[in-house]
Copies of this chain bind each other. A is one copy, B any other.
Amino acid sequence: MSFDANNFRDVDPGERVLMGPGPSDVPVRVLRAMSAPCIGHLDPVFLSIMDETQRLLRFLFQTENALTIPVSGTGSAGMETCFVNLVEPGDEVVVCVNGVFGTRMSDIVNRLGGKLIRVDAEWGKTIDPDAVRQAVKGKHPKVLAVVHAETSTGVCQPLGDLCTIAKESGALFLVDMVTSLAGMEVGLDRMGIDAAYSGTQKCISCPPGLSPISFSAAAMEALKNRKSPVASWYLDMSMVSSYWGADRKYHHTAPINMIYALREALRIIAEEGLEARFARHLLNHRALVAGIEAMGLSMLVAEGERLPMLNAIRIPEGADDLKVRKALLNDFGMEIGGGLGALAGKIWRVGLMGHTSRRRNVFLFLSALETILKAQAVDVRPVALEAASSIY
């Protein structure tokens, strides 16, 4: 097989501003930490890096849970980890669906042979706790699962009522925090959440590749009491937890350099402080919305139900979705996301996650969007920057 190695150049991804639904911009400190020399997964130096990473993750989740670790895969691997460990064939599982990620949860429950009890809400709306209460009546669900921050729509799901319903019905409360963690309050222990997973590439601002998860004592108990083996060897937390726990029993080779990166990203979060970080996300979100509405555009999600880190903007009449996104990418180096499923062509998804959530990015996006829409002869009012400025 002839093959010319000279056909390949140095990797050069350019310098994007990542304002899509993830990944978000990664601080230089994180990239530098990631490129430290690789060492062994059982090296005492690496074991102490693991310990520190766990302490930082517990701080971020606001939990004392022993099993609080980064799963060796991206956010969807974290989702699968939670379900594959907690659900056995025949178990009743309530899944709340109001977007792509609730749909994905349902798919996973079906693959595992769980009995799916699905509670739907319109995409762009929150789940109604009464509908969930109705659905669990007379049932004995093992798990009640919901997405905290629906990245496909920008909806923020209040967790309090659903958590109460889970406890009342004896179910473990499982929450998708892929997009919310590190951008808004999650307070695992305070809320009484039993299992949660996230991704590194959203508000944590670390490259994709790991999925932080946390299991409560009740979740660990459910895992211990399983009648059947966990369907996945790779994601079996009864074994993985031995490697991350005191035993240090080899399971699989940890993604060493990704864990360096995560540790550094978490350290940056700890330096900023959670409250300051959440306030920053909220402030930049408010400025973006002020600018968007001043321009004459509107948000998909009702005020009060919006996520601070993921903004779903209705595409105005006359605007060409693809052309706008291409112009943002090619002329301004900015990535934003399009709509998924039924929302394709109807919304733009603009992320202000982690390191991306900065005033300069809000201003750059508003000014670039105004320029591009004008060029497409879309009627926009030229007061976006003034409105955004008034928020700061």
Contacts and interface: CB of A to CB of B under 8 A. Distances in A.
A233 B229 CA distance: 18
Contacts of A75: 252-253
Contact of A255 (B59, B209, B252): B209
Contact of A256 (B5, B49, B72, B208): B208
A148 to B, nearest CB: 18
Give chain A's interface residue range (CB within 8 Å of chain B): 35 or more
Interface of A: 1, 3, 5, 8, 10-16, 18, 20, 22-23, 25-26, 31-41, 43-46, 49, 52, 56, 59, 62, 72-77, 79-80, 84, 104, 107-108, 110-112, 199, 201, 207-209, 229-234, 250-258, 260-261, 263-264, 267, 270-271, 329, 335, 340
Given A35-B32, A111-B231, A253-B201, A258 B209 contact: yes
How many copies altogether? 2
Contact of A43 (B1, B38, B250, B329): B329
A390 to B, nearest CB: 31
B104 A8 contact: no
With a 10 A CB-CB cut-off, give which of A104, A250, A255 has the most chain B CB atoms.
A255
Contacts of A112: 231
A11 B39 contact: no
18 contacts: A11-B36, A13-B39, A14-B45, A18-B39, A20-B40, A23-B38, A23-B41, A23-B256, A25-B38, A38-B208, A76-B252, A79-B234, A104-B233, A207-B258, A209-B255, A231-B231, A232-B232, A255-B258
